[in-house]
Structure 1
Amino acid sequence: MTLLLFLEQVLNGLQSGVMLFLTAAGLTLVFGVMGLINLAHGSLYMIGAFAAAAIAAATGSFTLAIIAALTAAAAAGALVEMVVIRRLYTRDHLDQVLATFALILIFSEATRWVFGSFPLYLDIPDALSGSVRLPGGIEYPRYRLALIAVGLTLAAGLFFLISRTRLGIQIRAGESDREMIAALGVNISKLYTLVFALGAALAGFAGALVGAIQSVQVGMGEPVLILAFVVIVIGGIGSIKGALVGAVLVGLTDTLGGVLLPEALRLFMAPSDAAAVGSALASMLIYLLMAVVLIWRPHGLYGMRA
């Protein structure tokens, strides 16, 4: 493997990681603040992608598509929290898992009923099409660079929101002692709805952005949900910083493993066998990474000790 190809794959891993962070950040906010296991979070990712693809096809505007994705995902998240999730806060995790798994089935079938079973496609805007030459002679897609920039900007915005604003103080206080902040006059129901809608909007935004580089189809949120859970376990439940670090680690591990392992195995077996075995082993690397982190730090890289 050449150095340029390696650096290009590092950028691909970073882009994958920051997009995964947008989904994992909403999931860790919901789990950290509400103590809720939300298996339907991937469905909100899917809703954002489908809303963006539908509006882009109808209007031809990528900006309107992104606004539609944010609005649809946030509205769906707020509605789900008020109608379903609000009744599960005092229930055990098994009830939460069963209820949110039912939501996955409902959202999947509703999306298939509205949009059909065939995938939709979201075009990259003209201003971000093509590639740019980076230092060292790397030709890299302009849209993927924009995804990295947007993801890191939103990460900085989330850090500021959580650590420097009044809403962030309420969110952190709600994570520590929800009864106390309710006694101090904070409307805990509105706070929970806002946090859930914010997490849903982040997931929908990620779905819309990623939908421009892959097809938009029913069920696309479930693989992302699994990776998001891996991210928050690695980074530490309830930690935005941990979600970012964990997402980048997962993105780099998945991308580089898929390239480096087949290359290494070609030294010992035929190229076709090396590609197949290397791909299978690469898909296991992120879970091996999670296992190593949990052995070293059972609460995650930035999670609080019990």
Structure 2
Amino acid sequence: MLSVQDLSIRFKTPDGYVHAVNNVSFDIAAGQKLAIVGESGSGKSQIALSILGLLAKNAEPTGRILFEDQNLLSMPASRMNKIRAKEIGIIFQDPMSSLNPYMTVERQLNEVLELHEGLRGKAARARVLEAMDAVQIPDAKNRLKSYPHEFSGGMRQRIVIAMALLCRPKLILADEPTTALDVTVQAQIMKLLDDIQKEYGSSIMLITHDLGVVAGFCDETLVLYGGQVMERAETREIFAAPSHPYTRGLMRAVPNINDVDGKLQSIPGQPPNQLNPPAGCPFAERCSDAVATCAETMPVLTDGAHQRACLRTVEELS
């Protein structure tokens, strides 16, 4: 359904070019759930925005993004407007900034149906109520005239999900859908997305910095760092046998209920400066397993079911 091929994104700034994404490639099949994980600033959200043609004006994307054999990067704005929301939906990470505080929930949801399907009046209201019921908003009929601030954080997130589902898109981009939610609401939102995916058969690209969120939800996981793919495999394989030092660092940073010391581990150092990206592996300066060549030679992503970009072998890191 979606094929991202050698995608690179750089931003022109007064200080030079910021290389946010570098030669990223991946595919998403119909009905598949793919997770893209990594620290803040690794390029995850920029990939999602590039798919929908929502990059900032100073962005310069290259490569190809094929959606059902149509290159989204070269698609005219008029055609792109027909794909957004109708065929590719997006769930933004902050519902308070993605919802209009001056408009009722009904009006905001109606806009999507008016623009893409020409529905108004009773027909639009019926579809809106159907979407709100699907995301389990209680007493939906009596809350249509409510404003975003009158809902809790979890309910606002459900409204954003309902908006993404209105036209039953083939692909849903979920950009940090559980950010700023407590763990109980996080579990509810992930269960909701799972139920929706099974009911509608949509593909999902989940963007998150939390590996714990993708466990048991996504079929495959792609680990991104410094705008580059460090590792990709089936999610259960990533959890069972992470093979890249960065992935292992992310795994150690996930709180463990069995850890009697209760100490949270972190990855020392800071992400690379993308104004002046390193010549070698972007993770070399923070990697405890790095050797001299890591700072000089860019690792190539291997082929196969379990892909990794590291100059050290799995045996050397064991």
TM-score (norm 1): 0.25
Which of the pair has the greater relative contact order for Cα pairs under 8 Å at 6+ separation? 1
Comparing both structures, which one devotes a greater share of its residues to helix?
A: 1
TM-score (norm 2): 0.24
